[in-house]
A = this chain, B = another copy of it.
């Protein structure tokens, strides 16, 4: 006779039950969709439920609600109730949740080669460009005046701008940019991650207009 101890947890919490920092981390953020929920909150800042959901095409609504609840219990997410005029709930990362940015950065760097042969009709949101751009692009002429590159791919235009020796991504296209990159998301991503030469991308439907030096300045040699 062997007494089995399936280790009962408070509610739906499945653990590796290993005394290892990696296993403990994965106990908290290793479930399906969890890391992508963190991604959205990192990229968007405090967000309403519906906006988070829009950034996670494919997630089931009940699952998102569940994940947000678990992340709140784990201390990675907090919910702020806005006062009556707005009357909505905002989800945001706690400092402990924001510390996952280093983990996501490492995963993004590792994952960049995989986007090249992705299915072309995968879902895409243009703010997803932020991580690869800020991780991979550097300003090769940081002493010259800053430049802006408008990127049109996916749901809304974004602007890549040189800043502090690197690159930043922000929403919308207010003023006229120094250059414009537009086309199918997968190809635009290929260009910005230097996995696809601009000429090849052009031949497959990407357009680049404006100062040619802008892209050269941002991409690695």
Contact = CB atoms under 8 A, between A and B. Distances in A.
A171 interface: no
B22 A39 contact: yes
A67 interface: no
A84 to B, nearest CB: 36
A28 interface: yes
Contacts of A122: 17-19
Contact of A106 (B58, B105, B119): B105
A39 B112 CA distance: 21
SS of A interface (majority) = helix
Given A25-B111, A26-B35, A19 B106 contact: no
Contacts of A118: 19, 24
A22 B115 CA distance: 9
Interface in A170-221: 185-186, 189, 193
B36 A124 contact: no
25 contacts: A16-B58, A17-B58, A17-B122, A18-B36, A18-B124, A19-B115, A19-B123, A19-B124, A19-B128, A20-B128, A21-B109, A21-B193, A24-B115, A24-B118, A25-B110, A25-B114, A26-B35, A28-B114, A30-B32, A30-B35, A99-B110, A102-B106, A103-B103, A103-B107, A103-B110
